[in-house]
Amino acid sequence: MLLALLMCYVGFTALCLSTDRHHGELLNSKPSTRRRLGLRMVGWLLLTVSIWPAVAATGWAQGLVEWCAVLMLSALLLVLLLPYRPRLALMLAGVGLLASPVAAFATL
């Protein structure tokens, strides 16, 4: 379930960075059209693929329920961190991106 949580959080952060406001706030620049499209594609891809580890761990019935809970938890964490600690939100996404392969190998 950790892998699904990490993937959801990084996916939501990528979607967040695809907007002008949050990209400027976190990275101090305006995203180009190509970067915006890339961030959106990566964000939606990660959110979609994050279903796989949840379903693989506990089956379709329980896995989808747990995936919805992980999806809400990661979105809530990002929403609570952005106004007060935006740099921490960005650092957590980087740590989540680096920790995802470790979590993937731990589940095998």
Give the domain ranges of the chain.
2-97
Q: How far apart are CA 28 and CA 81, in angstroms?
A: 18
pTM: 0.94
Asked if 10 and 48 touch (Cβ cutoff 8 Å), the reply is no
pLDDT digits (tens, 9 = 90+) for 55-108: 998 899 999 999 999 999 999 999 999 999 999 999 999 999 999 999 888 876
pLDDT digits (tens, 9 = 90+) for 19-68: 999 999 889 999 999 999 999 999 999 999 999 999 998 899 999 999 99
